[in-house]
Amino acid sequence: MEDLNDLAYFAAVVEHGGFSAAARATGIEKTRLSRRVAALEDRLGVRLLQRNTRHVAATEAGERFFVQAQALVEGARSALDSMADLRREPAGTVRLSCPQVMAQSYLAPILPGYLATYPKVSLELEASDRLVDLLRERIDLALRAGARIDGAAGLVTRKLGQARRVLVASPGYLDAAGRPRTPQDLARMDTFSRPGDVHDGQARWALAGPSGQAAVITHTPRLSTDDLRMQLQAAVNGIGVALLPEPIVSASVRGGVLETVLPHWSAETHMIHLLYPTPRGMLPSVRSLIDYLAVHLPACIQERSVELEDDHETAP
């Protein structure tokens, strides 16, 4: 492929009517322009310019080549200008991936504010529980939660907060079944689980107490589903006890339709991280979303955590 610089040098000579005028217009030495155009002619095997001591003019072949070369040079300049625009102001589409629970609980309240702040940016959000490959799938950034973060090799990981899974049930169910006083009491109660956690009809909850003590409870779930919202609704309807992430249940606990069960016991704390490729060459649109989430997401996480903790302290 031809060097676009040589095409630009040739086009400048034709546009300005000679090497001296082109040198003044471009700031490139006349001898360099002459040498590069001559090298271009040698590679093409065609004379592009007629030269004499006082005048330079394009040959017939040069005129034809000039039209194409000028279009290529202008196209390259336009592409560079468009990239410069992107570097100056957040604009374009940012692709974000996160689990459904986090999208509904954390992003839904705060992303409208981001879109209002940056009107030239569009967001493409994939709310999915699958583990995405940011580099291969061209995802700009992702939110993930877990005791450990898998698939983060080569990525920047930024901790934004933490959340637990807590035990909840409706007051009506607890009035009828009795409020458990120890984790072992859960084994006699109606419970929910995810299908992947059920083996031979039984599932296990690994719980941690307020002083770091551990309890593993084997239970027989009445409902097994990966849909955590369905588990939430079943708990609200008085079917049994659910172990669910704080952000899902906080509003229901605050509204009194759910009650925390054994409020000082919970499952393993999950760290919430923002993942993205190396910042080198990062577009302002992506950087603006990272900065926005870094400010607003921890506050959103904390609001839900504090609300639930307040209910823990006042729960009977």
The predicted structure's pLDDT at residue 4: 79
**Triad 202, 191, 147: Cα angle to 5°:** 75
Tokens of 72: 């290529």
The predicted structure's pLDDT at residue 86: 56
The predicted structure's pLDDT at residue 116: 96
Where in the chain are the domains?
Answer: 4-86, 92-309
* CATH number among 3.40.50.1000, 3.20.190.10, 3.40.630.90, 1.10.10.10, domain 4-86: 1.10.10.10
Q: Is 281 or 176 the better-scoring residue by pLDDT?
A: 176
The predicted structure's pLDDT at residue 311: 42
Q: Is 149 or 17 the better-scoring residue by pLDDT?
A: 17
Work out the mean pLDDT of the chain and round it to a whole number: 86
| Residue 223 pLDDT grade (very low, low, confident, very high; cuts 50, 70, 90) | very high
Q: Which has the closest alpha carbon to 240: 150, 174, 161, 151?
A: 174
Which positions ≥6 away from 35 have C-beta within 8 Å?
A: none
The predicted structure's pLDDT at residue 193: 93
CATH classification (class only), 92-309:
alpha beta
Tokens of 211: 């002083």
47: exposed, middle or buried (C-beta count within 10 Å: 0-12, 13-18, 19+)?
Answer: middle
Angle (deg, nearest 10), helices 4-16 and 60-88: 110
Q: Which has the closest alpha carbon to 2: 68, 54, 97?
A: 68
Assessment of whether the complete model's pTM goes beyond 0.75: no
- The residue whose two tokens read 């049994």 is 240
- The residue whose two tokens read 């993205």 is 276
Percent of the chain with pLDDT over 70: 91
Q: Which has the closest alpha carbon to 15: 75, 56, 72?
A: 56
